[in-house]
């Protein structure tokens, strides 16, 4: 009888996590195991995917976040980074909330700190925090002289990092590689902070970059997440679908952003989302628009959103140009996307609209 009650309680814990945090059953099991230091059986033979490595990498990643934050707060070298963040409009409380930090220059500051904490250099390489020297002798820090944005899972645990330069250096953004604990395709930046607002408002705003997410969030737009780059994945769409089936896509208005919106719409359609597209005036991205016009104006601009089919039709007609032949080309360009629309009447209406110009 006692065993039966214990089993019921265990099931209730998993059901509670799956309901409140919208976790899958395996994710709920993993959460409980990590919280209470319970070793899970390893079904994959490769040693780099053992639970021991996973926990050590998680520990190293949390220590790394604290290191970067401390450098930003306290070290003279980070003065430029602090000034940069201030100029970009970030207030201290949001810097703390998102765990933003700074990776110092030099080849091995982070490695030196973490090895003193007992982490092996080989493990730091697996975690994406260190790289092996091309000469094969020693390791060096993966991130150097960059603003650091921690990438967290839905529970707020840091899994990876994105680093941004403060000048014209390239690449502009440098991101953690895939690791045992991190797969870009299964996470959305800021979701741990936005999920309750998304659930309450029953819609999400999807943007591209870290600051495109953070600045509106700071000003009160709390149902906003970023896709960790322009290449949205089916896994990210399904993750968002745990909280809502309504989304406003607000990618940058440049060519790459428009192309990314097109690809994103197809993924959302496949997962049954209702999608609108927001294009801000004057070619502004969300970060710049909110800093210029404020959050209230940003919310007001949502009323100017285009339904996804209108956006696709407008872009197809713009690309095709004038004339009957061009309109036919526009129809042919849109048809593969229209085929994913479940409503037959809606499909026919938009074919008619494009055909008539």
Helix 324-338 crosses helix 255-270 at what angle (to 10 degrees)?
A: 50
Q: In Å, what is the CA distance from 17 to each residue of 36, 200, 236, 343?
A: 15, 18, 20, 35
Round to whole Å and give the CA distance between 222 and 207.
Answer: 13
264, 232 contact by CB (below 8 A)? yes
Q: Residue 338: which region, alpha, beta or left (left: phi > 0; alpha: psi -120 to 50)?
A: alpha
122, 88 contact by CB (below 8 A)? no
The candidate with the shortest Cα–Cα distance to 160, out of 145, 177, 147, is 177
For residue 320, name the pLDDT band (cuts at 50, 70, 90): low
**Backbone dihedral angles phi then psi of residue 325, each to the nearest 5 degrees:** -60, -40
Q: In Å, what is the CA distance from 199 to each residue of 23, 192, 204, 241, 287?
A: 14, 12, 9, 10, 23
Classify residue 296: in a domain, yes or no: yes
Classify residue 68: in a domain, yes or no: yes
If asked whether residues 225 and 204 sit together in one domain, one would say yes
For residue 345, name the pLDDT band (cuts at 50, 70, 90): confident
**Residue-level pLDDT at 80:** 96
In DSSP notation, 43-57 reads: ----GGGSHHHHHHH
The CA R_g of the chain, rounded to the nearest whole Å, is 23
If asked whether residues 154 and 54 sit together in one domain, one would say yes
Secondary structure letter of residue 88 according to DSSP: T
Print the domain residue range for 329.
312-356
Classify residue 230: in a domain, yes or no: yes
**Backbone dihedral angles phi then psi of residue 225, each to the nearest 5 degrees:** -140, 165
For residue 212, name the pLDDT band (cuts at 50, 70, 90): very high
If asked whether residues 291 and 329 sit together in one domain, one would say no
Round to whole Å and give the CA distance between 69 and 73.
Answer: 6
Of these ranges, 93-102, 256-265, 301-310, the one predicted with the greatest mean pLDDT is 93-102
The string of pLDDT tens digits covering residues 327-340 is 676 677 777 777 77
Classify residue 8: in a domain, yes or no: no
- Measured in residues, the chain has a length of 357
The string of pLDDT tens digits covering residues 82-133 is 999 999 999 999 999 999 999 999 889 999 999 999 999 999 999 999 999 8
If asked whether residues 172 and 206 sit together in one domain, one would say no
CA atoms within 13 A on the CB side of 204: 30
**Backbone dihedral angles phi then psi of residue 13, each to the nearest 5 degrees:** -60, -50
Determine which of 2-11, 58-67, 194-203 has the lowest per-residue pLDDT on average.
2-11
If asked whether residues 300 and 317 sit together in one domain, one would say no
Secondary structure letter of residue 189 according to DSSP: B
276, 225 contact by CB (below 8 A)? no
First to last CA, the chain: 72
- Last residue of some domain: 136, 159, 182? 182
- Last residue of some domain: 182, 207, 226? 182
In sequence order, the 6+-apart residues with CB closer than 8 A to the CB of 13 are: 28, 32
Asked whether the predicted pLDDT for residue 263 surpasses 60, the reply is yes
Domain tally, the chain: 3
Round to whole Å and give the CA distance between 119 and 60.
Answer: 7
Mean pLDDT of all residues in 172-197: 95
If asked whether residues 296 and 231 sit together in one domain, one would say yes
**Residue-level pLDDT at 283:** 87
- Last residue of some domain: 150, 182, 214? 182
CATH of the domain at 92: 3.90.980.10
- Rounded to the nearest integer, the mean pLDDT of the chain is 85
**Backbone dihedral angles phi then psi of residue 49, each to the nearest 5 degrees:** -105, 20
State CA 31 to chain mean position distance: 20
**Residue-level pLDDT at 12:** 64
If asked whether residues 71 and 142 sit together in one domain, one would say yes
| CB neighbour class for 23 (10 Å; exposed up to 12, middle 13-18, buried from 19) | buried
If asked whether residues 206 and 318 sit together in one domain, one would say no
**Number of Cβ within a 10 Å radius of residue 72:** 23
What's the pTM? Answer: 0.83
The string of pLDDT tens digits covering residues 28-84 is 666 566 555 465 554 444 444 567 889 999 999 999 999 999 999 999 999 999 999
Determine which of 64-68, 205-209, 293-297, 344-348 has the lowest per-residue pLDDT on average.
344-348
């Amino acid at each position: 009888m006692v065993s039966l009650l214990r089993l019921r309680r265990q099931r209730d814990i998993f059901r509670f996590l799956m309901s409140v945090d919208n976790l899958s059953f395996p994710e709920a099991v993993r959460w409980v195991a990590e919280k209470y230091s319970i070793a899970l059986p390893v079904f994959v033979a490769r040693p780099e995917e053992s639970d021991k490595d996973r926990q050590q990498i998680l520990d190293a990643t949390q220590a790394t976040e604290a290191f970067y934050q401390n450098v930003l707060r306290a070290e003279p070298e980070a003065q430029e980074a602090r000034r940069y963040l201030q100029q970009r409009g970030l207030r201290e409380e949001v810097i703390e909330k998102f765990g933003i930090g700074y990776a110092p220059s030099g080849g091995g500051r982070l490695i030196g700190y973490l090895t003193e904490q007992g982490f092996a250099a080989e493990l730091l390489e697996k975690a994406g925090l260190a790289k092996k020297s091309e000469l094969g002798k020693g390791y060096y820090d993966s991130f150097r002289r960059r603003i650091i944005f921690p990438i967290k899972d839905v529970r707020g645990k840091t899994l990876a990092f994105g680093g941004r330069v403060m000048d014209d250096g390239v690449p502009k953004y440098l991101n953690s590689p895939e690791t045992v604990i991190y797969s870009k395709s299964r996470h959305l930046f800021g979701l741990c902070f936005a999920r309750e607002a998304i659930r309450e408002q029953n819609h999400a705003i999807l943007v591209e970059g870290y600051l495109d997410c953070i600045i509106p969030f700071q000003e009160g737009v709390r149902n906003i997440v970023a896709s960790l780059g322009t290449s949205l994945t089916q896994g990210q769409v399904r993750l968002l679908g745990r909280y809502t089936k309504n989304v406003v896509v607000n990618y940058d208005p440049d060519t790459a952003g428009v192309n990314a919106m097109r690809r994103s719409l197809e993924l959302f359609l496949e997962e049954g989302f209702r999608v609108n597209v927001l294009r801000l005036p004057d070619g502004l991205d969300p970060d710049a628009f909110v800093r210029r016009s404020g959050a209230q104006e940003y919310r007001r601009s949502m009323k100017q959103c285009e339904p996804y089919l209108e956006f696709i039709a407008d872009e197809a007609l713009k690309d095709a140009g004038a004339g009957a032949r061009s309109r036919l080309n526009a129809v042919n360009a849109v048809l593969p996307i229209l085929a994913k629309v479940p409503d037959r009447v809606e499909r026919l209406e938009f074919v008619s609209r494009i055909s008539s110009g």
